[in-house]
Amino acid sequence: MSWSIDIISCITDRFVELTATEKRIAQFILDDVAAAAELPIAEIARLTQTSQASVTPFCPGARL
């Protein structure tokens, strides 16, 4: 899907600038974009051992 490529490009373009926490979230998304798109923020936070507040910026229309 083209939206997946756009998300992947946005994340990979900024990856080196991300904090360690953001990199864990970004890598999780890059590893399985389709699954990440379907999971609730709380589940992504749990799986990446981060907070929901850290995951939220990866939502559409946010920093990426």
Q: What is the pLDDT at residue 20?
A: 95
Separation in Å, CA 54 to CA 1, 2, 21, 31, 63: 26, 25, 7, 18, 12
Positions of the chain with pLDDT under 50: 1, 61-64
Tokens of 16: 């080196």
Dig out the tokens for 50 from the structure. Answer: 């981060």
pLDDT at residue 59 in the model: 64
pLDDT in tens, 18-36: 999 999 999 999 999 889 8
Judged on CB neighbours under 10 Å (0-12, 13-18, 19+), 55 is: buried
